[in-house]
């Protein structure tokens, strides 16, 4: 299995957009090691759109832009591998990528072969410029088959923005993860719409098959390619990261990891939050308490019999007390359980019947409830 737990890594798009180049990729890989991201579990360094020349070569092969990638993709992949990391790239099911570079339509086999020769471990496959009358599922199946045919294990990240309910068929095309929505931007509105909008998709996720609510905007603070009107506050990024951990979402960092603030670093490496994302049971959280005075409660069962719970305050200015009755977790009222704060990695205490969290506006409490024996 290539993705027994949700894939973790970094993708160039949210910060760099069309300005990606090999220096950024190398320095990002270095930062994975220097800042502890690799030790925290981040593994894939992925180049998104805008890496190739506008035209294919005379042999029909796709060509890396020599100005942006003077060493070539094979050498760059080797460098990334030498650091113990994995190398990801991007193409598109249509005739062009979304930014107008060559897509893989009708070139699936040679392109998959090129990626395999370069040492690519991860392919994000987009959906722009699909020729009229073609069937999207068939195009995704074609690239899935072409990737398998190379004989190289390549994680297949499907990006059709949630069209045609991909959660129902993407895995059968060989995809290990699939986007469930349009593109995220660096705003509280976007985080909420996408994150809380995942309710109901939990039954489609599991080991090797993950719903993907798009890459993280944690740490953009309004800058970069999807930066937006000042970006988000720290509490909002905490909600974003906590929710993506609960959702068993792929954790693809989008900020510039060469210059993270201490807060962003500590959030992206939050050990016990990542542990619930990477829990081997692979269950995606479901909403168990809805819109109680703008509070929401989401629960993710874990392999050891405990349950991870996020308590979210979606009001704009009011702190809220958000209750978590044991009944909503399937626990008997009289059962004693230990509640642990997964942000501070400390036990809060033993509780019977329920727990109540005080949560600041736009923030979230992230706890684990472990029934006592
Ligand atoms: C689409 C995808 C994004 C990104 C861009 C690149 O919009 O959804 O994630 O890959 O294309 O052009």
**pLDDT tens across 91-108, in order?**
999 999 999 999 999 999
Of 255, 102, 252, 92, the closest CA to residue 159 belongs to 92
pLDDT for 64 equals: 98
- Reported as a single tens digit per residue, the pLDDT across 198-214 is 999 999 999 999 999 99
Spatial separation of the C-alpha atoms in residues 15 and 68, rounded to whole Å? 16
Q: What's the chain's average pLDDT?
A: 97
Q: What is the pTM of this model?
A: 0.98
For residues 220 and 186, the answer to whether their CB atoms sit within 8 Å is: yes
Residue 183 in contact with ligand 1 by CB distance below 6 A: yes
Residue 348 in contact with ligand 1 by CB distance below 6 A: no
154 lies in the same domain as 290: no
Give the pLDDT mean for 296-315.
Answer: 97
The rounded Å distance from CA 325 to ligand 1 centre is 41
The catalytic position among 30, 65, 78, 183 is 183
Q: Among 249, 277, 305, which residue terminates a domain?
A: 277
Does a structural domain hold residue 23? yes
Q: Among 225, 253, 277, which residue terminates a domain?
A: 277
Sign of CA dihedral 130, 133, 136, 139: negative
Spatial separation of the C-alpha atoms in residues 72 and 366, rounded to whole Å? 43
Spatial separation of the C-alpha atoms in residues 282 and 280, rounded to whole Å? 5
Residue 49 in contact with ligand 1 by CB distance below 6 A: yes
DSSP label at residue 283? P
84 lies in the same domain as 220: yes
The rounded Å distance from CA 266 to ligand 1 centre is 27
Would the pLDDT of 292 be above 70?
no
For residues 247 and 368, the answer to whether their CB atoms sit within 8 Å is: no
From atom 8 of ligand 1, which residue's Cα is the shortest distance away? 183
Residue 283 in contact with ligand 1 by CB distance below 6 A: no
Q: Which of 12, 15, 159 to mutate to test the pocket of ligand 1 (most atoms within 8 A of CB)?
A: 159
Of 180, 179, 264, the closest CA to residue 224 belongs to 264
Q: Among 277, 304, 339, which residue terminates a domain?
A: 277
129: left (phi over 0), alpha (psi -120 to 50) or beta: left
The yes-or-no answer on residue 183 being catalytic is yes
Q: What are phi and psi of 11, to 5 degrees?
A: -135, 140
Task: Identify the domain containing residue 366 by its residue range.
Answer: 286-371
Spatial separation of the C-alpha atoms in residues 193 and 181, rounded to whole Å? 10
The rounded Å distance from CA 124 to ligand 1 centre is 9
Lowest mean pLDDT among 116-130, 232-246, 287-301: 287-301
Domain count, the chain: 2
């Amino acid at each position: 299995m290539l993705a027994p737990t949700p894939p973790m890594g970094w993708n160039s798009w949210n910060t760099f957009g069309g300005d990606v180049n090999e220096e950024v990729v190398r320095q990002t890989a270095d930062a994975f090691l220097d800042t502890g991201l690799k030790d925290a579990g981040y593994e894939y360094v992925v180049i998104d759109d805008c890496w190739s020349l506008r035209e294919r070569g005379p042999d029909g092969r796709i060509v890396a832009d020599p100005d942006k990638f003077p060493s070539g993709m094979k050498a760059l992949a080797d460098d990334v591998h030498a650091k113990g990391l994995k190398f990801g790239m991007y193409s598109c099911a249509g005739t062009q990528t979304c930014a107008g570079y060559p897509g893989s339509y009708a070139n699936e086999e040679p392109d998959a072969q090129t990626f395999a020769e370069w040492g690519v471990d991860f392919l994000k496959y987009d959906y722009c410029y699909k020729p009229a009358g073609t069937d999207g599922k068939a195009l995704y199946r074609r690239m899935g088959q072409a990737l398998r045919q190379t004989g190289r294990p390549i994680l297949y990240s499907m990006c059709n923005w949630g069209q045609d309910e991909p959660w129902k068929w993407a895995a059968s095309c060989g995809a290990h993860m699939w986007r469930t929505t349009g593109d995220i931007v660096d705003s509280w509105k976007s985080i909420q719409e996408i994150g809380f909008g995942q309710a109901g998709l939990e039954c489609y996720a599991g080991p090797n098959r993950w719903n993907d609510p798009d890459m993280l905007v944690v740490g953009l603070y309004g800058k970069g390619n999807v930066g937006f009107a000042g970006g988000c506050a720290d509490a909002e990024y905490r909600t974003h990261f906590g929710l993506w951990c609960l959702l068993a979402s792929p954790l693809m960092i989008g900020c510039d990891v060469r210059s993270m603030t201490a807060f962003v670093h500590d959030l992206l490496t939050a050990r016990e939050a990542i542990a619930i994302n990477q829990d081997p049971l692979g269950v995606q959280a479901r909403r168990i308490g809805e819109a109680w005075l703008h509070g929401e409660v989401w629960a993710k069962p874990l392999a050891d019999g405990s349950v991870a719970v996020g308590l979210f305050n979606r009001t704009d200015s009011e702190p809220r007390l958000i209750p978590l009755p044991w009944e909503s977790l399937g626990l008997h009222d009289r059962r004693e359980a230990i509640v642990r704060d997964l942000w501070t990695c400390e036990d809060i205490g033993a509780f019977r019947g329920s727990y109540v969290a005080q949560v600041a506006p736009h923030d979230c409490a992230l706890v684990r409830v472990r029934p006592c024996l």
